[in-house]
Amino acid sequence: MIFKRRKAAEPAQTTEPDEADAEREAGSDGADQESAARLSGPFDGDELTDRGGYIDLGSLLIEPVEGMQLRLEVEDKTKRVIAVALELDGSRLQLQTFAAPKSEQLWPGIQQQITASIEKQGGRVDKVSGRFGEELVARVPAKRPDGTAGFMVARFLGYDGGRWFLRGVIGGPAALDRAKAQALEEIMARAVVIRGDQPMPPSELLPLKVPEGAVARQPSEGAGPAEEAGATGSRDGDGPEPPERGPETTQIG
């Protein structure tokens, strides 16, 4: 894969030599940080010059990882694909892409909505610092398989792009184990969002599609009750899951 890199113009020397050197060094550090941030992803489709090797999901391109299973979450009523769920080493990452305005970030407002929804269910939300900036760790009361009281945990990640927003939800053991979450975070970091030129209102889901060669399976094939209900988290220390719509599940083999 190849990404374009933009070279910043070097500032003119208008001060004393030692001050100019300091300014150039500071400017270079800032440019390096900006470049590093751009190259660490998630990426904008306009910066991508080679789509080879990606799984094409329409508004989202994913790099395949050995051992990864990919499922598409489909809205019952409209039959449209509303999310991508990636499973790796017993944990899950759900990804959704949204339209966003150029001059405003969506993540702060979405954090408020998630927090209000979780707290309404009697849960708790903590703000923590993560790979993509501020993220949420949500705990929702739930019953264990044996009927005793427990909780479910999920990590909500957000990334504001140019005119798009990418949301990730980590569930399973990786929701509480940062080491186990690294592989899923890397998948999100390597993702490419294709915004397109069509005008769309902020927070509108960008269209996702079934990739070529996909094999549709029933939810009962290799999916437990949590997956069939559209769950994205895990229970009791393995990680919770946030309330989601109950889509059908399609596995990409």
* Alpha-carbon gap, residue 226 to 132, rounded angstroms: 27
DSSP helix, strand, coil percent of the chain (3-state; round to 5): 25, 30, 45
* Alpha-carbon gap, residue 67 to 90, rounded angstroms: 10
Upper half-sphere CA count for residue 242 (Cβ side, 13 Å): 26
Residues 6+ apart with CB under 8 A from 242: 114, 117, 118, 138, 140, 154, 156, 169, 232, 233
Query: What residue spans define the domains of the chain?
Result: 55-252
Strands 69-74 and 133-143 turn out to be unpaired
- Please state whether 237 falls in left (phi above 0), alpha (psi between -120 and 50) or beta: left
**What pLDDT is attached to residue 38?**
47
Contact indicator for 252, 70 with CB cutoff of 8 Å: yes
**What pLDDT is attached to residue 217?**
64
Those residues of the chain that have pLDDT short of 70 are: 1-39, 215-253
**What pLDDT is attached to residue 39?**
52
Contact indicator for 56, 212 with CB cutoff of 8 Å: yes
Cis bond before residue 42 (omega within 30° of 0): yes
Contact indicator for 157, 137 with CB cutoff of 8 Å: no
**What pLDDT is attached to residue 162?**
87
Q: Please tell me the pTM assigned to this model.
A: 0.73
